[in-house]
């Protein structure tokens, strides 16, 4: 428990040795350290000072949250980071999804390792102005599971914040795991004194996702974290007509591929359809989706991102959807969301102050 660290054998929801409730709360029952924590002297966590010093060179900190897993939060975090870097900002992307670190793959950094310098851990760089840190870089085998209790995960998050040398950053984007658990409490607690711009919450349109997103909004309000806005991801499957695959079901129930025939028919008989985009509702949005939820809870709706096969491919290949094989459907939607984010009074004012 040196320097107020939570021991690895602590209970899952350990309040921390420096907490006034250490050794006394219900969460401490049965912990082998209960008596030591109850009698140990209390005081401020010295690591918070180290975190504040390290974060002093980071101007803006944005958390990307989701109430539910599988909504594309990490994809959004990756593309937001790519976009900010393309705008000539110095950007850091911190992956605190300890048990499901997908950021290394989405940034094309699989197999990379963390290096130590006299200044601390060095991020892994995609470009000179886009650095990444993730537990994924610490695994010998990418298929190895991270089977850690809450205290150990919290300890690594703290280490990421106080030991990683980002140098000067305009933006630190933090990709968090789904839910409102230990990692979320810890990241807010550790960064609170350094100033957090706020959180972007990612959801899909259906009610089963929005139920959890409402909890995420409530969590942010409970811990005093500003909600910068909500993004509705996978808002319908959008695809250029000529990129679609066409099937015909035979009388025996077999699938017959008629893609070539349909494409040739369109070129010869209906060329005006060549640039048509098809859209199919994948998730039920009859409840009004994130837009209605945002209005009801008084949070900004940043926009919708369609489920775009080219965006999915970009994420798989670890590249930006804004360059190269352009994501013609999703890239414009993402650009509008990022532009709206930059217009947020808090962020836009800070950017003006930075220039001044």
> pLDDT tens-digit profile of 98-143?
998 999 999 999 999 999 989 999 999 999 999 999 999 998 887 8
Q: Which residue range(s) make up the domain with 259?
A: 238-280
237 forms bridges with which residues in the sheet?
A: 280, 307
312 annotated ligand-binding residue: no
Q: In CATH, what number is assigned to the domain containing residue 307?
A: 3.40.50.300
68 annotated ligand-binding residue: yes
Q: Do both 192 and 340 map to the same domain? A: yes
| Distance separating alpha carbons of residues 173 and 63, to the nearest angstrom | 6
Query: Is the CB of residue 58 less than 8 Å from the CB of residue 169?
Result: yes
67 annotated ligand-binding residue: yes
Query: Is the CB of residue 299 less than 8 Å from the CB of residue 229?
Result: yes
Q: Do both 166 and 262 map to the same domain? A: no
> What single-letter DSSP state applies at residue 164?
B
73 annotated ligand-binding residue: yes
Q: Do both 31 and 52 map to the same domain? A: no
| Distance separating alpha carbons of residues 127 and 91, to the nearest angstrom | 10
pLDDT at 353: 64
Q: Do both 116 and 203 map to the same domain? A: yes
Average pLDDT, stretch 338-355? 75
Q: Do both 146 and 213 map to the same domain? A: yes
- How many domains does the structure of the chain reveal? 3
The region of weakest confidence among 155-169, 209-223, 295-309, 314-328 is 314-328
Q: Do both 133 and 90 map to the same domain? A: yes
| Distance separating alpha carbons of residues 344 and 62, to the nearest angstrom | 12
Q: Do both 204 and 271 map to the same domain? A: no
For 1-41, the pLDDT digits (tens) are 445 567 777 887 787 776 777 888 888 888 888 877 877 66
Average pLDDT of the chain, as a whole number: 89
How many other CB atoms are found less than 10 A from the CB of residue 130?
A: 23
Q: Do both 297 and 275 map to the same domain? A: no
From the list 181, 220, 16, the residue with the least C-alpha distance to 100 is 181
The region of weakest confidence among 7-16, 166-175, 328-337, 344-353 is 344-353
69 annotated ligand-binding residue: yes
99 annotated ligand-binding residue: no
296 annotated ligand-binding residue: no
């Amino acid at each position: 428990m040196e320097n107020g660290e939570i021991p690895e054998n602590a209970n899952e929801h350990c309040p921390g040795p420096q907490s006034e409730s250490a050794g006394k709360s219900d969460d401490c029952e049965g912990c082998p350290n209960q008596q030591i924590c109850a009698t140990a002297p209390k005081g401020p966590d010295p690591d918070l000072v180290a975190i504040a010093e390290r974060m002093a060179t980071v101007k803006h900190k944005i958390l990307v949250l989701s109430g539910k897993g599988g909504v594309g939060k990490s994809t959004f975090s990756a593309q937001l980071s790519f976009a900010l870097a393309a705008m000539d900002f110095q950007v850091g992307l911190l992956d605190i999804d300890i048990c499901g670190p997908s950021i290394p793959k989405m940034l094309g950094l699989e197999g990379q390792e963390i290096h130590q310098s006299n200044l601390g851990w060095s991020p892994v760089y995609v470009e000179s102005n886009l650095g990444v840190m993730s537990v994924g870089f610490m695994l010998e085998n990418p298929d190895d599971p991270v089977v850690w209790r809450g205290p150990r995960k919290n300890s690594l998050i703290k280490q990421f914040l106080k030991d990683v040398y980002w140098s000067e950053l305009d933006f630190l984007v933090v990709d968090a795991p789904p839910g409102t658990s230990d990692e979320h409490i810890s990241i807010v607690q550790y960064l609170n004194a350094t100033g957090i711009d706020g959180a972007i919450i990612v959801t899909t349109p259906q009610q089963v996702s929005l139920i959890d997103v409402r909890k995420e909004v409530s969590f942010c309000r409970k811990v005093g974290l500003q909600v910068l806005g909500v993004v509705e991801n996978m808002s319908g499957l959008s695809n250029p007509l000529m990129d679609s695959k066409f099937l015909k079901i035979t009388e025996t129930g077999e699938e017959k591929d008629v893609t070539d025939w349909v494409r040739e028919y369109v070129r010869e008989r209906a060329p005006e359809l060549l640039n048509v985009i098809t859209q199919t509702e994948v998730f039920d949005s009859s409840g009004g989706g994130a837009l209605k939820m945002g209005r009801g809870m008084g949070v900004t709706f940043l926009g919708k991102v369609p489920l775009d096969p080219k965006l999915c491919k970009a994420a798989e290949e670890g590249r930006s959807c804004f360059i190269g094989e352009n994501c013609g459907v999703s890239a414009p939607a993402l650009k509008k969301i990022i532009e709206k984010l930059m217009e947020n009074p808090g962020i836009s004012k800070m950017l003006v102050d930075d220039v001044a």
